[in-house]
Amino acid sequence: MQIQLTTHPPLSAQTVVIPVAQTEGLSATLTELANRLQLLPETLQHDFKADFKEVLPVYQPDGRKVFLLGLGKEPTAISWLRAFRELFFRQKDRLTTGVGVELGGFAGEVVEAVVLGIRWGGYVLKQHATDTPTVSGFYAEEGQLVIAVSDGQLTQAETALQRAEAIADTHRQMLDLMNAPSNYKIPQTLADWAVASGQQYGYSVTVFDRAEIERQGLRALLSVNQGSANPPVFIIAEYKPADQPNAKKVGLVGKGITFDTGGISIKPSTNMHLMKSDMGGAAAVLGTLEVAAKLRLPVHLIGIVPSTENMVDGQATKPGDVIGSYLGKTIEVIDTDAEGRIILADGLGYMVRNFQPDVLIDLATLTGSVIATLGYHAAGLFSNNDELTSQLLKSARQTGEPLWPLPLWDVYQEDIQSDVADLKNFSGKPMAGAISAAKFLEVFTDGHPAWAHLDIAGMAFADTEFGTQKNATGFGIRLLIDFLRNVFTADNE
C-alpha cells in the first residue's frame, strides 16, 4: 500500500473515510456533511452521534462509499488509532484499492495514529493457516491511501507519516514474533531477527551462544535454560547516532522467554498455550532498537535480551536450588516459575557493568500479580527516580500505552530475604508479588540512580478484534519511542 499526503479532499477515491469528533460544533459539522453527501441533515443527525468507533456507511450516487467514523469526545492518539484500526480491520475484505481519508480541521500529528491504525487493521493473525484469506487490493502493493490535511498542517503531517511508517512494519514483525508458536520461535529465532535488523538498519548486534554465556559468567540465565533442549542466547544490540558523539545513553533490557512451562513449579495447563507470549519485553526492546535506528534518533541506545525457554526435564533447576549470577549475587530459587526476574538479573547486571547507561529501563511480562492489581488496563511502573517516572507517564498518556506507578519501598526488601543465599526469587506470599519482583530486580541494577521497571504482563497480550483468544499488542514500542524522541531529542538540540 502506497500513502500520499495532499491538501485537497480525496474526491476521486473509491472509498472515503471522514472522522468526526463529538465537539460542541457537531450539529453544524453534520449539517455540512449532510449537504455534501446529499442527505437530509435531520436524518444524519438522528442516525449518527459520532460515538467512539461508531461507523455510518453512506453510498453515493456515483457508486463511491463514504464512511463516517466516530471518534467520541476529546479523542486522544490511541482513540484515533483504535477507531481506524477497527474500521479497516472489519472492512478490509470490502475495501476498494483506493481509499481516501479527510483530516482537514485536525492537527497534522494525528496522521501518525491514523496510519498506524490503518496499517494495523490489515494484520493477519493466521500466520500458519492453510486457508489464509486473500489480501484485499487495498492492502496489496497496488493499494493507494490518500490522506488530505489542511494547508497549514502539511509539514507536521509529513513528519508524523515518516514516524508512523518507521513504526508500522517493525510493529507488525513484533506481532508476528509474539504470536508465533514456540515450535516456530526459539531463542535463536530472536537472535537471527536482531542480526538481520542490525545489518539492514545500521546498528551493531552481538549474540552470545551457550559457550560464550558460560565464559561470561551469566549463570542465572544458564540456570533457567537447564531444562531446555534449545540453547539460550544473550543478545546485545547497540545503536549510536553518527552525528551525536555525546548523546545520552539509554539501556533497555527485555525478558525473552520464548516459552514458559513454569519449570518444576509447573503452570496449570489451562492457559499454558499462551506462554509463547512471554517474550513481550524482548519484543519491545528489539522493536524500539530498530525504530530508533530507522528514525536516526539522537540517543545512544543499547538493548539487551537474555533469551531461553523455561522447560522441564531431569536437568532443570529445582525449587530450593541456589544459583549464581553475573554480578556474583547468589539466588535461592523458591519458585522456578519466577524465572523472568532471574534472567533479567543477568541482563541488568551486564548492562550496568559494561555500558553504564544514563537511564536504565527493563520491560517484562513478569507477574500475574500486576494483573491482579491493575487488570488489563495498565502496566506497572516501578522506578527509583521521580523525573524518569514523570517522563514515562507523560509518554504513556501521549501514546495510550498506560502505566501506573507502584511503590519500591525498602520495607518490601524483607520479602526477598533468603536464609541460605544473598536473596530469593519469590516471596511465597499471596500479595505484593509485582512489588517483590521489582525489589528483586533492583538488587541487580547495582545502585543505578535512574532505573525503571515496567511489568507489562497484562498489556503485551490482549483480547483484540484480530482473534478469539489473546494475541500480541506490541506494547512498549510506541511508548519508548515517544519517550526517547521527546526527552532525549530535546536534550541534544
C-alpha cell at 54: 461508531
Are both 204 and 340 inside the same structural domain?
yes
The answer to whether position 106 is within a domain reads: yes
pTM: 0.95
Instruction: Write the DSSP assignment of 27-38 as a string of letters.
Output: HHHHHHHHHHTT
Q: What is the pLDDT of residue 31?
A: 96
Do 161 and 185 fall within a single domain?
A: no
Give the count of beta carbons closer than 10 Å to the beta carbon of residue 467. 12
Q: Say if 175 falls within a structural domain.
A: no
Question: Quick check: is 421 in a domain?
Answer: yes
Q: DSSP H helical segments within 355-483, as ranges?
A: 368-374, 386-399, 433-443, 477-483
Kindly state whether residues 262 and 159 are assigned to the same domain.
no
Question: What does residue 84 show for φ and ψ, rounded to 5 degrees?
Answer: -70, -35
Q: Are 250 and 238 in contact (CB under 8 A)?
A: no
Q: What residues are designated binding site?
A: 255, 260, 278, 337, 339
143-152 b/e with 16+ CB inside 10 Å = b? bbbbbbbeee
Q: Do 343 and 459 share a domain, yes or no?
A: yes
* Count of alpha carbons within 13 angstroms of residue 314, beta-carbon side: 0
- For every one of its 493 residues, what pLDDT tens digit does the chain have, with 9 covering 90 and above? 999 999 988 767 899 999 999 999 999 999 999 999 999 999 999 999 999 999 999 999 888 999 999 999 999 999 999 999 999 999 998 899 999 999 998 999 999 999 999 999 999 888 888 886 677 789 999 999 999 999 999 999 999 999 999 999 999 999 999 999 999 999 999 999 999 999 999 999 999 999 999 999 999 999 999 999 999 999 999 999 988 888 999 999 999 999 999 999 999 999 899 999 999 999 999 999 999 999 999 999 999 999 999 999 999 999 999 999 999 999 999 999 999 999 999 999 999 999 999 999 999 999 999 999 999 999 999 999 999 999 999 999 999 999 999 999 999 999 999 999 999 999 999 999 999 999 999 999 999 999 999 999 999 998 887 877 888 999 999 999 999 998 876 555 4
Q: Is 251 helix (H, G, I), strand (E, B) or coil?
A: strand
- Which of 139, 166, 193 marks a domain boundary? 166
Q: Does residue 174 fall inside a structural domain? A: no
Domain count, the chain: 2
Marked catalytic residue, from 294, 341, 424, 485: 341
What pLDDT score was predicted for residue 378? 97
- 63 assigned to some structural domain: yes
State how far the alpha carbon of 282 is from the alpha carbons of 89, 142, 398, 456, in Å.
Answer: 27, 34, 22, 11
Is 394 one of the annotated active-site residues of the chain?
Answer: no
pLDDT at 489: 66
Instruction: Single out the residue in 116, 135, 166 at which a domain terminates.
Output: 166
267: annotated active-site residue: yes
DSSP 326: T
User: Side chain identity at 116, as an amino acid letter?
Assistant: L
Do 202 and 311 touch, CB atoms closer than 8 A? no
Whether 118 and 188 map to the same domain: the answer is no
**Which residues carry a binding-site annotation for Mn(2+)?**
255, 260, 278, 337, 339
The Cα angle at residue 338 between residues 337 and 342, in degrees rounded to 5: 125
User: Cα 333 to the chain's mean position, in Å?
Assistant: 30
- Residue 482 to residue 391: CA distance in whole angstroms: 10
Domain residues for 186? 180-492
Quick check: is 173 in a domain? no
Domain identity same for 294 and 436? yes
Query: At which of 110, 142, 166 does a domain end?
Result: 166
CATH of the domain at 158: 3.40.220.10
Dist. CA 170–CA 156, nearest whole Å = 22
Our CA angle for 197, 166, 478, nearest 5°, is: 100
Could you tell me if 343 and 308 are in contact, meaning their C-beta atoms sit under 8 angstroms apart?
yes
The pLDDT score that the predictor gives to residue 32 is 95
Domain contains 171: no
Instruction: Kindly state whether residues 429 and 341 are assigned to the same domain.
Output: yes
One-letter amino acid at 76 equals T
Tell me the C-alpha distance between 236 and 65, whole Å.
49
Residue 70 and residue 122: Cα distance in Å, rounded?
20
Same-domain pairing of 208 and 235 = yes
Catalytic residue (choose from 267, 296, 394, 470)? 267
- Same domain? For 198 and 66 the reply is no
Same-domain check for residues 204 and 243: yes
Residues 227 and 150 reside in one and the same domain: no
CA–CA separation, 342 and 323 (whole Å): 10
User: Are 51 and 193 in the same domain?
Assistant: no
Asked if residue 258 is part of any domain, the answer here is yes
CATH number at residue 234: 3.40.630.10
Instruction: Label the pairing between strands 359-364 and 379-383.
Output: unpaired
